[in-house]
Each structure stands twice: as structure tokens, then as C-alpha cells.
Amino acid sequence: MSFKGKLVVLKRIRSGDDDLIAKVYSPAGVVSVLVREGYLGSNPFLGVFEPFNLVEADLDQKGDILVPNDIISVRRYSLLARDYNRYVWMSWVSLFVLTRISFYDERVFPLIVRYLTANPGRRIPVYRVLFRIGIMEALGWRPRFLSQNIGKGKVKVRISDGSVSEDGEVEVRAVVLRFIKNLAELGSGRISARGNVLKEAEDLLDRYIDYHTR
């Protein structure tokens, strides 16, 4: 079966001596692209399937593997990763997609590209939370606590709908929910968090996302 469309390269690994396998996010979901002799300098696809590149290609699907026939266009976002902080950030986004967003959604694709090419600087932890919020809202999984009044101390959150409820399964500090709400409403801006607030926010949102992707 022939396949034509855009894909984002998430990971590249060597197969055998010279073959290249790229894990990509595409309209077929997260799939593998096999480039025969992809590490040889004579290969016409050399440098195309670098991590973080946005590629428009014509491919054949053979079982669970895609094989490229022709490359229509390449945006070499891999070049942005020459900066160490950008590399750390882009690697995190790619790993998050690989481990948690295996299915394709047309609303998620541009979001992945936008965050891959963002430059969070020293605010990578805040951007990690912001990216999760963007994923949830793009997929229509907006947690109900984002529109609820948050009390003080510790509260319980129901994982199925993200509401603050006495029968919630996850206990979390109210300051964590307020931090997430502020990010959702205001964006990164000058919003910051101290102590374990960022980690607790990431843990809560991961549990919520995992519930909706299982």
C-alpha cells in the first residue's frame, strides 16, 4: 500500500551495518521507516530521517514498516538541536510522543511540531507541563478542575474527568492545581513554580493522559 504525507522523525536507530530505522509520527500513527543503507554517504535519503525533521514523503507500507520511495520536502529542524538545551527539550518531546501518543490525530500533529521548534530556554520544566496541557485540550480531554474553584491544602482529583471530588483517586496539593490552571489560562509567561510543584503537576497530568490513552 502506498502512503504519502507528512511525518515527524522522533528517533533514529541503526539496523545491521548500514540500514537506518526511523521512528516517526505520521498519519499511520507512530511507525517505523526502514531506509536501506541509510548510513551510507551515497544514499539519496542521507540526512533526511534525522530526529526532529519534518518530512513530506511518498512511501510504501510493507506490514508494520514504511519504506521511502521519494522525498517531497524536508524541514531540517534537527539543526536546532545543535544547542544543548534545545536538544534536551526536543528529545523530551519526542520521547513523550513515543511513549504516550502512539495514535495519530490531526490536532496533535501541528502541536508536536510547534513545541519541537519552541525555545524554552531555562524554562523546560514549565514547558513540559504546558505541552501536556496542549495535548489534553487538543484531544478534548480538558480536565474539569481547570474550570473549578480550587480550595486550600490537599484535594482529591478524579482521574476519569479531572474533577476535584471527594471520591477522587489522586490526592494532590491545591497549589499544584492552581499552577496548572494559571499555565492553561496565561501560557508560560513569567509563571514559575517552586519545590515539588512541577513534578507533582507532571505526575498528575501523566496519570490523566494515561487513563485516556490506555
Residue 191 in this model has a pLDDT that exceeds 80: no
State residue 194's pLDDT score: 72
Rounded mean pLDDT, 30-56: 92
Residue 56: which pLDDT band, with cuts at 50, 70 and 90? very high
State residue 1's pLDDT score: 65
Q: Is 170 helix (H, G, I), strand (E, B) or coil?
A: strand
Rounded mean pLDDT, 66-82: 94
Residue 131 in this model has a pLDDT that exceeds 70: yes
Residue 38: which pLDDT band, with cuts at 50, 70 and 90? confident
What's the CA gap between 152 and 166, in Å, rounded? 14
Residue 50 in this model has a pLDDT that exceeds 70: yes
Residue 39: which pLDDT band, with cuts at 50, 70 and 90? confident
Distance of CA 144 to the CA centre of its chain: 22
Beta strand 65-75 with 29-35 is parallel
Residue 32: which pLDDT band, with cuts at 50, 70 and 90? very high
Q: Give the residue among 70, 68, 69, 74 at the shortest CA–CA distance from 51.
A: 74
Residue 187 in this model has a pLDDT that exceeds 80: no
Half-sphere CA count of 190, side-chain side, radius 13 A: 0
**Averaged pLDDT of the chain:** 92
Residue 31: which pLDDT band, with cuts at 50, 70 and 90? very high
What's the CA gap between 124 and 36, in Å, rounded? 36
pTM equals 0.91
State residue 11's pLDDT score: 96
Phi, psi of 120 (to 5 degrees): -75, -10
- The conformation of residue 164, written as its DSSP 8-state character, comes to E
State residue 161's pLDDT score: 94
Whether the Cβ atoms of residue 66 and residue 59 lie closer than 8 Å to each other: yes
